[in-house]
Amino acid sequence: MDSEKVIARDNDYVLHTYNRNPIVIEKGHGLHAYGPEGQSYLDFTSGIGVNSLGYCDLNWAEAVSKQAHKLQHTSNLYYTSPCSKLAKRLCRRTGMSKVFFGNSGAEANEGAIKAARKYSFDHYGEGRDQIITLVNSFHGRTIATLTATGQDTFHHYFGPFNEGFLYTPAGDIEALTKLVDKHTCAVMLELVQGEGGVVPLDQEFVQAVRALCDEKDLVLIVDEVQTGVGRTGTFLACEQFNLRPDIVTLAKGLGGGLPIGAVLVSEKVAAGMGPGSHGSTFGGNPVVCAGANVVLERLDESFLAGVREHAAQLRAGLERLPHVKGVTGLGLMLGIQFEDGINAADVLAACRERGLLVLTAKTRLRLLPPLVVTAHDIERALVILDEVLCGLDPVQS
């Protein structure tokens, strides 16, 4: 079916909750996506940080299809090997004690909120249930995670929203300390605010939050749904902040393209989450876990060193482009801030016309290439971005 028909049919029947790019992607290989009429795109989005090994990595596709032929699902009433293997790998890799598997980032954060409140209830009783999150954060689209998201634009239409969430500006430890009282149970944050514009937190602030959580016995939840699984050049972004969280959530890149979310918890938090405390029909699905196991196997130290090397190359190249005011982010999670008058959405559209797929976050252009990106791919993307930016005159306002 040609692109025009696919788009028309989608527009007729799929709820218009997204503004989509007017292109159809039919297949992909590595960094390259292809359309039905033979269009070819260099993809620096990874499906928003999901396709960590690029499109249809051979080992990943083989592991997934082999598992699909063997056993596609059982329910959590029984054990399967791919699930326990992934759990062991994740715990060993992160130093966390136990993991719960769900199907998305929002669901992982829901699990984290529940586990934090359960810890607080078990140790301090009722009424100590408030969770402090950061202004400009993003934690998901379910009612509780929308509420946790510290952006007013998300707090309309769908109320009543949950009680028990408070917001504080990133970087201001005094403001955070003032919010903590006998009702506070947890602090939840992203180390690099992704949807908020690719804004990393300050090291000192993060250390101060950890110290405050230790002092008041608050659960520190780190949302690594976007930053985790090698995206920032280390397995967890926490490693670069010298941070030991009490709960860390993962999702996007973990399954290499299949839906999965994970809530990793420390021993003290794990203790409260016994039988009946949480559940998911699909969570820990063996096909998805088989794919995630390939991702984890691939992300050894030498692979991550390559991610850091390519990230440095990309960042240096971006900083040299015309109209670029600054580059933010960590590893292969980068935001590009333009001079006044250059609109990131215009740059995105012009890149697409030239066969390069990129993202935006707030006013910035955002790049999340697959972790398998090569020096050659980066050179090509930089050439296209350079052509696009050279052709753009800042709009005088």
Binding residues for ligand PLP restricted to 153-212, rule: CB under 6 A = 190, 194-195
Residue 106 binds ligand PLP, judged by CB under 6 A:
yes
223 catalytic? Reply is yes
Distances (CA, A) of 88 to 43, 92, 100, 103, 388: 32, 6, 12, 18, 46
Min separation Cβ 336 and ligand PLP, Å: 18
Residue 245 binds ligand PLP, judged by CB under 6 A:
no
Q: 3-state class of 28 per DSSP?
A: strand
Min separation Cβ 145 and ligand PLP, Å: 7
Q: Which stretch binds ligand PLP (CB under 6 A): 36-44, 79-87, 218-226, 343-351?
A: 218-226
Kindly name the residue from 223, 235, 241, 246 that is annotated as catalytic. Answer: 223
* Size of residue set near ligand PLP by CB under 6 A: 15
Q: Identify whether 160 is preceded by a cis peptide bond (ω within 30 of 0).
A: yes
Read off the DSSP letter of residue 396.
Answer: P
Cβ proximity of 246 and 112 under 8 Å:
no
Token pair, residue 75, equals: 């329910």
Min separation Cβ 122 and ligand PLP, Å: 26
User: CB-wise, 43 or 223, nearer to ligand PLP?
Assistant: 223
User: CB-wise, 30 or 140, nearer to ligand PLP?
Assistant: 140
User: CB-wise, 104 or 266, nearer to ligand PLP?
Assistant: 104
Residue 229 binds ligand PLP, judged by CB under 6 A:
no
- Closest to 331 (Cα-Cα) out of 203, 251, 239: 239
Contact mark string toward ligand PLP, 108..147, x via CB under 6 A: -x----------------------------xxx-------
**Of the candidate residues 52, 104, 130, 234, the single one contacting ligand PLP (CB under 6 A):** 104
Cβ proximity of 383 and 318 under 8 Å:
no
Identify the H or E element spanning 338. Answer: strand 333-338
Kindly name the residue from 44, 138, 235, 338 that is annotated as catalytic. Answer: 138
Residue 228 binds ligand PLP, judged by CB under 6 A:
no
156-168 burial, b if ≥16 CB within 10 A, otherwise e? eeeeeeeebbbbb
Contacts of 134 (CB under 8 A, 6+ apart): 150, 167, 168, 169, 170, 189, 190, 193, 201
Distance between CA atoms of residues 67 and 200, nearest Å? 38
Read off the DSSP letter of residue 62.
Answer: H
Read off the DSSP letter of residue 156.
Answer: S
Residue 223 binds ligand PLP, judged by CB under 6 A:
yes
Min separation Cβ 107 and ligand PLP, Å: 7
Beta-bridged to residue 364, according to DSSP, are: 361
Distance between CA atoms of residues 381 and 43, nearest Å? 9
Beta-bridged to residue 218, according to DSSP, are: none
Contact mark string toward ligand PLP, 355..374, x via CB under 6 A: --------------------
- Summarize as ranges the residues that interact with ligand PLP (CB under 6 A): 104-106, 109, 138-140, 190, 194-195, 223, 225-226, 251-252
Catalytic residues: 138, 223, 252
